[in-house]
Amino acid sequence: MTTIKPKHETIAVPASARGQMLLGFPISTRLANVLRLQKVKRLGELHGLTFDEISHYRNCGSATVEELRRLVGSVHAGRKPGLAGAGGLPAYTFFPVPKYARQFHPADLPMSARLASVLERNGVVRLADLRKHTPFDFKRLANCGPATCDELARLMIRVAAGEFQPVVRSFSITRLGPALRPLDDALAALPEDWRNILLLHLAGDSSEPGTLTELASRFRLTRSRIGQIVESSIEEIKKSAALKMRGYLDGMAAYCLAQVCPLSPALLSRWLAKSRASVRHRSGFYVRLLGKLNPAIPVWLHGQDSHQISERHGEISCATATVLRANGGVLPFKKAWKLVSTNMGRRRPSRREFLDALKHARTLTVDFPTPSAGAVRLQWRSGSPRTKKS
């Protein structure tokens, strides 16, 4: 015998559940749309209404009313919000974005080109913009099918779980070991062939990096394919580790520039010794990779390289030579930069410009009495060496 349920039964929602979001429960798309059109977002907004009133809502038939009745019953039984909706969408009316991630750019996260395009077309410049959207907003968009919605949902769950939270927020030599750990983890997550190619190309296991041509011959691939693998591997590491290290890498760049001292394998090795940290690969590998993750870090792998010189570099080099002639022919980097800045007035170089000019100078020689203290000197004789390894 079928039990007839009264139409005018009043909906009673427990006080403890009235703040819960309705879309946090496993409800059908039809019921979700009915509630959305009525701007009903929380369970508490149903409290005191009758099922008869609900049945008069647009597109709300008897099956939808019965579904809502079962939902209210499950709430009385103690059910909590979980994952809901097609594609495993997050159980929230609006996407939850933790404070640490609100300024992240979507392109910084590991996502498909399709999802990135969907977010861009809908004005999501930073993750904080997702707080204005519901999962069902995306279900109605063109080119955003269940798989794309599922990808967004799972990505935001990872963000909410703190997966991309910075491991070390500011630069400190003593925290270098923990700061580099995400790089090792991201590298280990790459396909084995990709990992081996990247290690060889960035000299992870030897003193000299392998060229694309050498690696192409070794792995029996084309040179262009090796280049694609290297670029894709670095991109994967960026999306996996760069966000966790952003504050630390920005601090490292700021520290090197403040000291007017480039990051070299010798300097990184010295920092690792101070921090008593053990790493899996050679210092040169990390220096090359850090430079690719954060171009603001002034990276010097093998001292000077006079093959690429610009007009601006030449101007700064000439000003530096003038300063050196007036000061005994040799100066520490930092003091030389200060004097050059004073002499050049409005055309004074930034610290980064100054280091770049020294790196590419043809008439100046640099050496490093210690890894953290470089000195620049005039190249008195045409036969004197132009390159000194750090």
Identity at 20, one-letter amino acid code? Q
Residue 240 is encoded by which pair of tokens?
């996996």
Domains 15-76 and 99-160 share a fold: yes
The domain 173-293: what is its CATH number?
1.10.10.10
Q: What global pTM score does this model have?
A: 0.66
pLDDT, position 375: 92
pLDDT, position 89: 46
Instruction: Kindly list the averaged pLDDT for each block of 10 residues, start to end, along the chain of length 390.
Output: 59 83 70 81 85 86 86 79 45 69 85 88 88 74 80 81 77 88 90 92 74 92 94 89 85 93 92 85 91 92 74 91 92 94 92 92 88 86 43
The alpha carbon of residue 138 and the mean position of all alpha carbons in its chain are separated, in whole angstroms, by: 23
Identity at 370, one-letter amino acid code? T
pLDDT, position 97: 83
CATH topology of domain 99-160: DNA polymerase; domain 1 (1.10.150)
Between CA 108 and CA 113 the distance in angstroms is 12
Sorted by sequence, the CB contacts under 8 Å of residue 56 that are 6+ apart come out as: none
Strand partners, 10: 50
Tell me phi and psi for residue 177, to 5 degrees. Answer: -60, -55
Of 2.40.10.220, 3.40.718.10, 1.10.10.10, 2.30.40.10, the CATH number of 311-378 is 1.10.10.10
pLDDT, position 298: 93
Q: Where are the domains of the chain?
A: 15-76, 99-160, 173-293, 311-378
- In contact, 91 and 82? CB cutoff 8 Å: yes
- In contact, 349 and 340? CB cutoff 8 Å: yes
CATH class of 15-76: mainly alpha
Of 358, 357, 359, 376, the residue nearest 367 (C-alpha)? 376
pLDDT, position 14: 87
pLDDT, position 348: 92
